[in-house]
Amino acid sequence: NAGVTQTPKFQVLKTGQSMTLQCAQDMNHNSMYWYRQDPGMGLRLIYYSASEGTTDKGEVPNGYNVSRLNKREFSLRLESAAPSQTSVYFCASSNNRDSIYEQYFGPGTRLTVT
Amino acid sequence: GQQVMQIPQYQHVQEGEDFTTYCNSSTTLSNIQWYKQRPGGHPVFLIQLVKSGEVKKQKRLTFQFGEAKKNSSLHITATQTTDVGTYFCAAGRGSTLGRLYFGRGTQLTVWP
């Protein structure tokens, strides 16, 4: 099992450009999440999908959109990138296993917006 | 706003010393999880606590969940250089059990 995979690993964008971050999991998990991590800020939830076909806003959704394409894939789109979106983005997935909601994280995408 | 407060933000210890990080919430939690992130890596799940007053151990790591289910701690005995990284607590709430509210983390540095 590959677990959670993310592409790309690194990306540099100019202000105003758009891009989509891809995430896929092969663990048959129902729930998937997108976080951003900034120095000293911990992990902040952008959007999540509790199950296939549903998505909900997290703490910092402005400037982002998501698509739960199927059970495996959950993508994050930046329509018009801004320097404030420079961050490390992590995708995660989880399932309810014996009431344990352990989240499995991907390796991250390091995004710089200039 | 910040749902879960975690302190300290940084901790520098000499190898062999103990280390503790604390997590506090103003509201009662359904559960609390702990994650470790190595430098340049991604968060990795360590443990989940659910019961009031629960204490769990993993080798040199001891995790506690407060009686009121509003606070938690992670204690490492006799730190080693392999313990270096950032430790996060993450709180679960009753309405959406899978969603987590992460603390800002404690960055642990261990010098030999």
Predicted confidence (pLDDT) per residue in B47-75, tens digit? 999 999 999 999 999 999 999 999 999 99
- Which segments of chain A have a pLDDT < 50? none
Q: Which of A39, A94, A89, A43 is nearest to A63 (CA)?
A: A89
Task: Output the pLDDT for position B97.
Answer: 58
Longest dimension (CA), chain B: 45
Taking CB atoms and an 8 Å limit, are B100 and A41 in contact across chains?
A: no
Distance CA B79, CA B36 (A): 14
Contacts of A99 in chain B (CB under 8 A): 50
Q: Which amino acid is at B93?
A: R
Taking CB atoms and an 8 Å limit, are B99 and A107 in contact across chains?
A: no
Taking CB atoms and an 8 Å limit, are B48 and A42 in contact across chains?
A: no
